[in-house]
Amino acid sequence: MCLGIPGQLVELDADNDQLARVEVAGVRRIINVGLLEDEILEQGDWVLIHVGFAMSKIDEEEAAVALASLKLMGSGLDDELEMLRGTAS
Amino acid sequence: MKFVDEYRDPVAARRVLATIRELAGTERHYKFMEVCGGHTHTIYRHGIEHVLPQNVELVHGPGCPVCVIPMGRIDDAIAVAETPNVIFTSFGDMMRVPGGNGTLLEAKARGADVRFVYSPLDALKIAVDNPERDVVFFAVGFETTAPSTAVTLLKARDDGVMNFSVFSNHVTIVPPIKAILDSPDLRLDGFLGPGHVSTVVGNHPYRFVTNDYGKPLVTAGFEPLDILQAIAMLLRQIDEGRCEVENQYTRIVRDEGNPRALQYLAEVFELRPHFEWRGLGFIAQSALKLRDDFAPWDAELKFSVPGVRVADPKACQCGEVLKGVIKPWECKVFGTACTPETPIGTCMVSSEGACAAYYNFGRLHREAAVTLGRASIPVTSA
């Protein structure tokens, strides 16, 4: 839960600035971006997600590196994606 | 050379390793603690301890949120989960942690309504969808996950979701580091500071490590090269007679952390007078409880929680592993009675636990390291 998974912002919720739709390794879900409300977030930006919350804004290279690390962890990424998928919206 | 070649930038890795060798010399032994379980995972996954010079040793710290929860709290969780009308929600990792009365998975098999969630917000949604049931979220984690629980509680209050509550087991990162520094068991020369926790708390809270204890600390990222660079930065500080909090993970961690997340934490949580940590015992002001304003959403007030202290199984040495006193393979039950399939201790459960990481990757890399040890590592400048 502490490793974080990178996701790309697909759509910011026009009605609720706390929410955004992200794509994580092909899985889409709504996450909470309220902890980054002091940052400027735009469609296409990458964020590091912990337990459904964007915790840090990251660049594309960092996102690729983080995702590659998770893939190396074997079941770690699969488990995360399974959980994401299970609650995807 | 396959071993180092697996690193994303093997040339850079070799260069940093050459720097580490040069700075470490041969005369003294250096012992650094990696506080964070994510770092432990990287270290084993990439066999970092085997490419380091023999006199540079890494020991594991207490930064695995699943690992540090004592058995009694698992029993408390099970007691709440087995309360009539409760839906008990938890991160997957916590489901397999054994307490004195078994695991949450076993409670589920006995009939308790225990459900995995990915996020505390998913637990809140279950509460909204099931207004006739009491939905409890088993909150664990350091400052990395605690802000998420805080935001969820603020939302529960704002939306008036009264059938939702949180069983808080959130812990804070600074007190266990202090407890380890105060412990006579271990002589450390410095710390690899945690990565993602520091995105929230920043680097300033670690100043006591340098100022009061005279040990350098370098906040590090999770790539193998990050770890190697952080080790080189620690050695350089020692070599130059400096003792500072430095940040290797500048691409994510800011010195001031995330002020917004800290503000949410302060709004919802306060420090408990004491909290028990597996292996470290009771540590004052080391964990978070809900403030009085959030009493209606506090599972510890809403339900009958036994709160009985349960001693770890005698054979289990997670405590020593979490303090860095022994390595996973030095535990008597490691890999025999205690495996990821049938864990006795928490360190074998979580993917961030030192024992699980070593069990999954360690032996493989020991063999690889023998091969590597025979080859000399060319120092390439690029």
Q: Which of A36, A72, A87 sits opposite B119 (nearest CB)?
A: A87
Give me the DSSP letters along B218-285.
EE--SSHHHHHHHHHHHHHHHHTT---EEES-TTT--TT--HHHHHHHHHHEEE-SEEEETTTEEEET
From residue A68, give the alpha-carbon distance in Å to each of A77, B24, B215. Answer: 10, 31, 33
Residues in Cβ contact with B7 at an 8 Å cutoff, skipping those fewer than 6 apart:
B13, B46, B224, B225
Cross-chain Cβ contact B196/A4 below 8 Å: yes
Q: How far does B38 lie from chain A, in Å, by closest CA?
A: 6
Helix/strand/coil for B78: helix
Which ranges of chain B have pLDDT less than 70?
Answer: 1-6, 362-382
In whole angstroms, give the CA distance from residue B258 to residue A33.
Answer: 13
Residue A68: its pLDDT value, please?
79
Q: What is the pLDDT of residues B333-377, one digit of tens each?
A: 888 888 888 888 888 888 778 888 888 876 555 554 444 444 433
Query: What separation, in Å, do the N-terminal and C-terminal C-alpha atoms of chain A show?
Result: 20
Q: Please classify residue B283 by burial: count the beta carbons closer than 10 Å to its beta carbon, then call 0-12 exposed, 13-18 middle and 19+ buried.
A: buried
- Percent pLDDT > 90 in chain B is 66
Residues in Cβ contact with B341 at an 8 Å cutoff, skipping those fewer than 6 apart:
none
Report yes or no: B137 and B167 within 8 Å, Cβ to Cβ.
Answer: yes
| Residue A87: pLDDT over 70 | no
Is pLDDT larger for residue B280 or for residue A2?
B280
Residue B5: its pLDDT value, please?
62
Q: How far does A40 lie from chain B, in Å, by closest CA?
A: 14
The length of chain A in residues reads 89
Q: What is the pLDDT of residues B84-132, one digit of tens each?
A: 999 999 998 899 999 998 999 999 999 999 999 999 999 999 999 999 9
The single residue listed with the structure tokens 């050695």 is B235
Mutant choice from B68, B96, B118, B263 vs A, greatest count of A C-beta within 10 A = B118
From residue B226, give the alpha-carbon distance in Å to each of A64, B35, B214, B239, B280. Answer: 15, 14, 23, 20, 28
Residue A4: its pLDDT value, please?
82
For A84, the closest chain B residue by CA position comes to B118
Q: How far does B119 lie from chain A, in Å, by closest CA?
A: 5
Cross-chain Cβ contact A73/B36 below 8 Å: no
Other CB atoms within 10 Å distance of the CB of residue B26: 9
Q: How far does A56 lie from chain B, in Å, by closest CA?
A: 7
| Closest-CA residue to B150 (of A34, A80, A58) | A34
| Residue A71: pLDDT over 80 | no
Report yes or no: B65 and B275 within 8 Å, Cβ to Cβ.
Answer: no
Cross-chain Cβ contact B196/A48 below 8 Å: yes
Report yes or no: B286 and B171 within 8 Å, Cβ to Cβ.
Answer: yes
In whole angstroms, give the CA distance from residue B220 to residue B40.
Answer: 12
* CB proximity A51 to B under 8 Å: yes
Report the pLDDT averaged over residues A35-47: 93
From residue B36, give the alpha-carbon distance in Å to each of B115, B144, B265, B353. Answer: 27, 11, 21, 10
Give the confidence band of A75 by pLDDT, cuts at 50, 70, 90: low
Q: Let me know how many helices (H) and strands (E) chain B has, helices first.
A: 17, 13
In whole angstroms, give the CA distance from residue B44 to residue B35.
Answer: 14
- Dihedral sign, CA of B120, B126, B130, B134? negative
Residue B341: its pLDDT value, please?
86
In whole angstroms, give the CA distance from residue B126 to residue B86.
Answer: 11
Give me the DSSP letters along A26-56.
TEEEEEE-GGGTTS---TT-EEEEETTEEEE
From residue A88, give the alpha-carbon distance in Å to each of A26, A29, B127, B261, B353. Answer: 11, 5, 17, 24, 28
Tokens of B271: 């420090």
Tokens of B72: 């009694």
The single residue listed with the structure tokens 């709160």 is B307
Is pLDDT larger for residue A36 or for residue B340?
A36
Mutant choice from B6, B45, B119 vs A, greatest count of A C-beta within 10 A = B119
Residue B106: its pLDDT value, please?
97
Q: Please classify residue B356 by burial: count the beta carbons closer than 10 Å to its beta carbon, then call 0-12 exposed, 13-18 middle and 19+ buried.
A: buried
* CB proximity A64 to B under 8 Å: no
In whole angstroms, give the CA distance from residue A16 to residue A86.
Answer: 23
Give, for A21, the enclosing helix (H) or strand (E).
strand A19-24
**Which amino acid, one-letter code, is at A19?**
L
Which value, to the nearest 10 degrees, does the dihedral of the CA atoms of residues A1, A25, A70, A55 take?
-40
Cross-chain Cβ contact B122/A87 below 8 Å: yes
Strand partners, B89: B115, B137
* CB proximity B213 to A under 8 Å: no
Average pLDDT, chain A: 84
What are phi and psi for residue B379, nearest 5 degrees?
A: -90, 110
Report yes or no: B193 and B217 within 8 Å, Cβ to Cβ.
Answer: yes
